[in-house]
Structure 1
C-alpha cells in the first residue's frame, strides 16, 4: 500500500519543519504551566529568592575553608608580577604542564620575524596572538602537589602594558602541601634552569614600562654571533677576553678580597652605523646575559635614576646609548622650552649618573656599556678609569672586513646559488673587497648594498664598482638643505 504524499514531502522523505515543531512545543509548555498548582509556584519563587543567599553562604564557607587550609596545611611563595622570575615560572608551567585551555588573552602581534622582505613592505593586517590565560593551576612535580595562582587584581595593570604577551605580569603564588617551602624553592630552581636554556637562543632586552615604574621585557632577539659585527679582529679578541675574565668567579673573589668594587665599564665610540649597538647585543648573546636599555634623557630625577639602577640585577649588561647627547640636547631643549614658556621634565644631572656608576649607592656585578658618536663631547669625569675601563673604537669598514662580510653573506649553506662552493665564494669576495676603499664606508652601508643582491654572489661582485662610485659622489655633494625655525636656508 502506497504512503500518502503530503505537502512539503517527497516520496520516501519527510521534511522537518522547525517552525511548526517550535509552536507545538511552546503550546505544550503553556498548557503545563496553566495546570501548575499555585502552591507549587509559590515554592519555586521562594526557592529562587533563597538561592542567592545560599550561594553567598557557600562561597564564603569555601573561602573560609580554603583560607584555613592554606594557613595550616600549605607552604607558599609569592613572586611579584614585575620580577623576571615570575615570567620564568609561567613559561615553564605552560611548556611542561600542558593542558587544554579555554580562556585566552588576544593581542595584536607587535613584532614578528618576516623573512620575506617583499611581503614585509606590504600593508597587511597584523596577526592576532592568542596566549593562554589562567587563574589557578595545579600539577604534580617530583611527587609533590603544587598549586599556582595568579592574582586577578593585577591582571588589569598587566594587560594595559602594550608589551604584555600573556606570560607574566600578574602576582604569582606557588603553594604546596606541607610545613616546608623547600619543594617550591626546588621547583623555582628548575624553572630558572629552563629559562637559562632559553637564553642560549635568545637575548632578552629589558626597558622601563611606559609609566617608568618597573623593568619589563621589551622583546627577545635571536642571538647574534660576534663574527657578524665587523671591526678590528685584535680589538674584538681583547674585548671578549676582558669580559670573560671579568665574569670569571675567581675575578670576583679577587676583587672582594682586595676591597675593590666589582664592576666593569666600556665605551664604544665611532661614526653612526658602525655597529656599536649590534656589538652590545652580540656580547649579551655570547655570554648569556640579559640586556637592560636605559635612556637617561627620559629619566625625571636623580632619585629615579638611582632607583632604576638598584632594580637592575647583577650579571647583566646595562646599555647607555648616545651618552654624548644627554646633556647637550637637554641644555638646548631647556633654553627652547623657557623661550616657549614650558618646563623641561627631566632634571637628571651628570653627578647623579656618576653616583649610580661608582658612587656610594652603586651596585656591583654588572657590565655598563656606553655608546657615543662624539667622544670629544664627553665629560672627563665620565670616562675616567673606574667608570670606563676599556674604550673600543668602531670605525669604517676595512677591505679585510668587507671580504669577511661577503663570505658570510654568500656562504654555500645560505646562498640560493647551489652551484657555488666556498672556494668560488672566496674568490668573488677577494675581487669584491679590492673595490672597497679603506676606511670610507660603514658596515651598515655595505649591508644595505648586500640586501639588494642577496640572490647572486656574482652579481654583487660585478655591481660593487658602480655602487662605490655612486656613494662617493653622494658624499661629495652638498645639496642638502637645513631649514631652521626662522625659515632660513643653510647650505
Structure 2
C-alpha cells in the first residue's frame, strides 16, 4: 500500500504554480546549455575577464598621449583659488558652457533668497529652506572663438572649499585653463571676456566684501541690488555736494593732477549721526552709484593694529572701504584714563588707524568712509583734513523727507493699490471692481502724512518700521500716522520711567 503522505506531496506539487514556473525555467536553461558551444562560452568569459585590463591599458595610453600633446601643443594659465578672477571665470563657464550640456554632477546648498518678500508672520517661523543645485564640473572642453579650450578644477582645492561654510559652489578651487596651440593669447582674451561678463552682471549689484572667519583674506559677503540714492533721506544740498565731490575724485584727470603734484591720491569721509539715520545705507548706495565694491571693516571686531594694516594692504585701489563705529577705538585723549562702562572698545589704537589711513605704506586710490554715532569722541587728529575731507551729518527726518519717503513707498504701486473697504462701499452697488489710487490722490495723501511728522524727531529707520505695517494700503498709512506719532512720542518720554525687573534677589 502506497504511503499516504506521498500522495499529498504530489498533489501539492501539482497544484503549486511556483513549482510549475521553476520546472519550466529549468527546462529552458537545460535546453539552452545543451545547445551552447562550450568553446564560445570560454571565449566570452576570457573577453569579459580581459576587459578591465584593456580599459586600464587604454587609460594609461590616453594619459601618455594627452601628456605628450599637452606638453607640446597646449598652453596653460593657472588661476589660484579664492582669487576674484577665479570666480569670474567659473561663473562664465557655468553660465555659457556647462548649463547647455547634460549635467549629472551638482553642488547642493541651502538656498537663501536675499531680499525675498514674505509676510511678517512667516519670517518668524522656522521653515524648511529651499535647496539650490548648482552644476558642477571637474574638466570641461569647449570651442570658443575658433579655439579649443579645456578648464579643469583641482579636486584637492575643491574639497578644501567644501569645508568652508562660506563656500557657495562658485569659485574657490584652483583653475587651469588650457588652449590648443602654442600661444596663451586666446586664453587671455577668454579671461578678459569673463571679466567683462562679470562687470555686466555686477552693474545691477553691489558686492560687499568682509574678512573670512579666520581673518585671513577678503571674501564676498553678500551681493545686494543697487540702492538708489533717493532712498537715503537727508539734506538734498548736502547730498548733491557729496556726489559732486566723489565724482570729481574718481575722474582720471584728478588722479593725474594728484600725481603731478606729488600728493597722495586718497579721499576720506565721515558720516555721523544717531543710529538708524542711514550711514551704512548711504555707503552702499554710493558704491552702487559709482560702480565700486564695498569693503566692510567693523572696527570693534579687529583684533590688532597688524590685522588692520593687513586688511588695508589687501584692499584694491578702486573701491570704498567702510570703517564702521570708529568711536570704538576710544580716541578722545581726555577720556583715555577713564574706565568705560557698557561700551564696545576696539583692540586697535589711534596710531594704528592713522597709519593705515595716510601712513607711509598706506595704499592709494580708495575711498574711505568712517561712520560713528558719537562724533564728539573722535580725536581731532583723526578728523583733520587729509584724513577726513568731508563730514556728512545724517540726522532725523524732516517733513519734506517724510513726504518723499511716503511717495517712494507707494508711487510704483499706484495702479494696483486698493482704497479702504469703507470707501469702496460708497461706490455704486453691484460694482465688484476695486477702486484704484491715482498719482494725484497719492500726492495729497503724502502731503497730509507729512503734516503729522514733527521736524527732527524720528529717524528714517523708525519711519520705515511704520511703513512696514502698511505696505499694502497708503490710505491706512496716512490715517494711522497721527496715532503712531503720539505713541512714539509718549514712549520716548517715558523711557526713563521703565520698570527694571530684577532676578528676584534682594
Normalization by structure 2: what TM-score? 0.82
CA distance in 1, matches of 2:21, 2:105: 38
CA distance in 2, matches of 1:70, 1:236: 57
| Pair 1:468 & 2:470 matched | no
Show the counterpart of 2:497.
479
Show the counterpart of 2:87.
87
CA distance in 2, matches of 1:370, 1:197: 29
Q: Is contact 1:75-1:180 (8 Å) kept?
A: yes
| Greater alpha carbon shift after TM alignment, 239-248 vs 356-365 | 356-365
Residue 481 of structure 1 deviates from its aligned partner by 5.7
- Decide whether aligned partners of structure 1 residues 274 and 193 sit closer, same or farther in structure 2, where only a CA change above 3 A counts: same
- Decide whether aligned partners of structure 1 residues 27 and 472 sit closer, same or farther in structure 2, where only a CA change above 3 A counts: farther
| Greater alpha carbon shift after TM alignment, 456-465 vs 106-115 | 106-115
1:303-358 Cα distance to aligned partner (Å, 9 max, x none): 33222222221211111111112458xx99x999xxxxxxx998543322222221
Residue 54 of structure 1 deviates from its aligned partner by 6.5
Show the counterpart of 1:399.
399
- Decide whether aligned partners of structure 1 residues 301 and 426 sit closer, same or farther in structure 2, where only a CA change above 3 A counts: same
Give the one of 459, 462, 484 matched to 1:445: 462
- Decide whether aligned partners of structure 1 residues 67 and 208 sit closer, same or farther in structure 2, where only a CA change above 3 A counts: farther
- Decide whether aligned partners of structure 1 residues 345 and 138 sit closer, same or farther in structure 2, where only a CA change above 3 A counts: farther
Show the counterpart of 2:474.
457
- Decide whether aligned partners of structure 1 residues 388 and 408 sit closer, same or farther in structure 2, where only a CA change above 3 A counts: same
| Pair 1:126 & 2:126 matched | no
CA distance in 2, matches of 1:327, 1:104: 50
| Pair 1:416 & 2:432 matched | no
RMSD: 3.5
The alignment partner of 2:311 has SS state of helix
The alignment partner of 1:294 has SS state of strand
Show the counterpart of 2:249.
246
| Greater alpha carbon shift after TM alignment, 295-304 vs 458-467 | 295-304
- Map 1:40-439; keep pairs closer than 5 Å: 58-97=58-97, 98-118=100-120, 119-327=122-330, 348-413=348-413, 416-417=417-418, 419-439=436-456
CA distance in 2, matches of 1:22, 1:311: 80
The alignment partner of 1:162 has SS state of coil
1:417-446 Cα distance to aligned partner (Å, 9 max, x none): 362222211111111111111000000000
1:159-200 Cα distance to aligned partner (Å, 9 max, x none): 222222211111111111222211111111111111111122
CA distance in 1, matches of 2:24, 2:287: 72
Q: Is contact 2:328-2:346 (8 Å) kept?
A: no
1:356-406 Cα distance to aligned partner (Å, 9 max, x none): 221122111111111110011122222221111111110000001001101
Q: Is contact 1:265-1:369 (8 Å) kept?
A: yes
CA distance in 2, matches of 1:362, 1:131: 40
1:83-114 Cα distance to aligned partner (Å, 9 max, x none): 11111111112222232211111111244432
Q: Which runs of 5+ in 2 are unaligned?
A: 1-16, 419-434
Residue 485 of structure 1 deviates from its aligned partner by 11
* Higher radius of gyration, 1 or 2: 2
CA distance in 2, matches of 1:149, 1:59: 18
CA distance in 2, matches of 1:485, 1:293: 39
Alignment coverage as a number of residue pairs: 460
Normalization by structure 1: what TM-score? 0.84
- Decide whether aligned partners of structure 1 residues 467 and 21 sit closer, same or farther in structure 2, where only a CA change above 3 A counts: farther
The alignment partner of 1:300 has SS state of coil
1:38-58 Cα distance to aligned partner (Å, 9 max, x none): 9x989969985x877776665
CA distance in 2, matches of 1:26, 1:476: 99
1:232-288 Cα distance to aligned partner (Å, 9 max, x none): 001111111111111111111111111111111111100000001111111111111
CA distance in 2, matches of 1:258, 1:22: 103
CA distance in 2, matches of 1:23, 1:445: 84
CA distance in 2, matches of 1:350, 1:59: 63
The alignment partner of 1:411 has SS state of helix
The alignment partner of 1:324 has SS state of helix
Residue 26 of structure 1 deviates from its aligned partner by 12
